[in-house]
Amino acid sequence: MTTPFVLKPGQLTVADCYQFFRQHQTLSLSEDAYPAIDEAQQTVSNVLKQGRTVYGINTGFGLLANTRIAEEELELLQKSIVLSHAAGIGDLMQVSTVRLLMLLKINSLSRGFSGVRREVIDALITLFNHQVWPAIPQKGSVGASGDLAPLAHMSAVLLGEGEVIIDGKRLPASEGLKKANLTPLALAPKEGLALLNGTQASTAFAFEGLFYTENALLCGIAIGGLSVDAAQGSRVPFDDRIHMVRGQQAQRDVASMYRDVLKESEIGKSHEDCAKVQDPYSLRCQPQVMGACLQQIRYAQNTLIAEANGVSDNPLVFAEQQDILSGGNFHAEIIAMTSDMLAIALSEIGSLSERRMALLIDSNLSGLPPFLVENGGVNSGFMIAQVTSAALASENKTYAHPASIDSLPTSANQEDHVSMATFAGRRLKDIFENVAGILAIEWLAAGQGIDFRSPRKTSEPLQQVHSLLRSKVAFYDKDRYFAPDIENAKNLITEHKLADLVKSKIQSPIYA
């Protein structure tokens, strides 16, 4: 049995979130967290005893905030908000998203500013540890007043309502509680609202987008390096002196990564004194473009880990002063903008890859056989594979349109500006799937080019990149059914096989 991950509220790292993204691990909450949780819950009880009127505790919600709720209806109020807000639609979130969402929600509630009982947090941890995943539709949040619908679907399971996913099967929530040895909870004042308010769905999607972008960057550097050798490109553009004088650290780090994967290549040494002065931008400007993408990754990591460790529900309980304050931490504008920048970075990784692949099939630029196949004319080779890349790259231009600049008022204009952060984060997977396809096609093309350069070899790191590809896809000696080759190469990317290999070959860190 593996040792549980001890969650210290407010101290998650990007590395922690990445591990939970990749695989399940059981949780335990640090005992140090419970005093703050208990004190905040006691503050809520004190407010009720004093007869004070406080939003979300003994009032309605949204436009109904001025409606006082009778004491005997407070439990019903919390149950009602969960059930009425579970109004999501569409495909369900994948398990990795739900796992991150629950981790982030547990972390936030455990900070001791939400006013929930420890029993609520413990119940979420128990579901998490038994891998009873709430069935949460992907669509239905505008990323302000919290991710209400997604979090309501999560919370409904605690009440024995809704559905869960267990071992890939969709089952009633009652079956999930049974597996976790739980009984339905009766929510105390403030608890329903605390569970529903927050940016955890938007942030979970954005974290996944961050990790997709990291994957694409690493794969793009390896495959881009392979294309440099396939096209007999120059090493000069990766010289550290060029990047040092510009002063952009991410660009300099990416250039170093390219040097790591390209070092000591027979192909590279064979044309050190060639007459070619400059390569096209898709080869020459890789450090500048990919460095800009790395800069966005680093910005996103700082923003998202701050949000992961923050408290974003409303109202917030400050036990020391016995205050309960209404604000707007649930507004996910910063997550929306961060996701928008990741969307641009991801799309650019794909756009650059498509251009490199187009260069490789052009014999005038690459010096390789037209469309990377012998007996051209009879064989079309990689002609239409490049068309597929172009289609995917073009589609990403629409996907990457900023979501954060849109807003539609909700709740009878009480919530009159929203962030659209949930969609901003969610579409990153769609962009990544396209980019993975583009990179897969370039990988096939670059691998083909390397084979044509035989007996000269590429660098040792890139030989491993080439061998990984050839473990799933054979050399393209004549036209054959192409789609399985693309799918096999793409799977090596989406399953992290290539990215994990590249990580072991580079020295510069991805995260600053």
CB count within 10 Å of CB 396 equals 26
| Alpha carbons 163 and 448: distance in angstroms, whole number | 48
Reference 337, options 231, 420, 393; nearest CA is: 420
Range 29-58 burial, b when 16+ CB lie within 10 A, else e = beeebeebbebbbebbeebbeeeeebbbbb
What pLDDT is recorded for position 65?
65
Task: For tokens 């096609």, name the residue.
Answer: 441
Q: Within 13 A of 153's CA, how many CA atoms are on the CB side? A: 26
Parallel/antiparallel/unpaired status of strands 316-318 and 169-172:
unpaired
pLDDT in tens, the chain (512 residues): 578 999 999 999 999 999 999 999 999 999 999 999 999 999 999 988 888 888 878 877 666 666 777 878 888 889 999 999 999 999 999 999 999 999 999 999 999 999 999 999 999 999 999 999 999 999 999 998 889 999 999 999 999 999 999 999 999 999 999 999 999 999 999 999 999 999 999 999 999 999 999 999 999 999 999 999 999 999 999 999 999 999 999 999 999 999 999 998 999 887 776 666 689 999 999 999 999 999 999 999 999 999 999 999 999 999 999 999 999 999 999 999 999 999 999 999 999 999 999 999 999 999 999 999 988 888 899 999 999 999 999 999 999 999 999 888 777 677 778 899 999 999 999 999 999 999 999 999 999 999 999 999 999 999 999 999 999 999 999 999 999 999 999 999 999 999 999 999 999 999 97
What pLDDT is recorded for position 64?
65
| Secondary structure element (H or E) that encloses residue 139, with its range | strand 137-139
Q: Which residues pair with 142 in a beta bridge?
A: none
Q: Tell me the helices (H) and strands (E) count for the chain, helix number first.
A: 21, 9
The type of residue at 291 is G
For the chain, the residue count is: 512
| Alpha carbons 4 and 19: distance in angstroms, whole number | 13
Reference 21, options 208, 218, 215, 300; nearest CA is: 208
What pLDDT is recorded for position 277?
64
Among this protein's residues, is 55 annotated catalytic?
A: yes
Q: Are residues 9 and 110 in contact, defined by beta-carbon separation less than 8 angstroms? A: yes
Q: Which stretches of 141-187 are DSSP H helices?
A: 148-158, 173-179
Q: Check 18, 34, 55, 258 and give the catalytic one.
A: 55
Residues 6+ apart with CB under 8 A from 30: 6, 7, 8, 9
Q: Are residues 237 and 371 in contact, defined by beta-carbon separation less than 8 angstroms? A: no
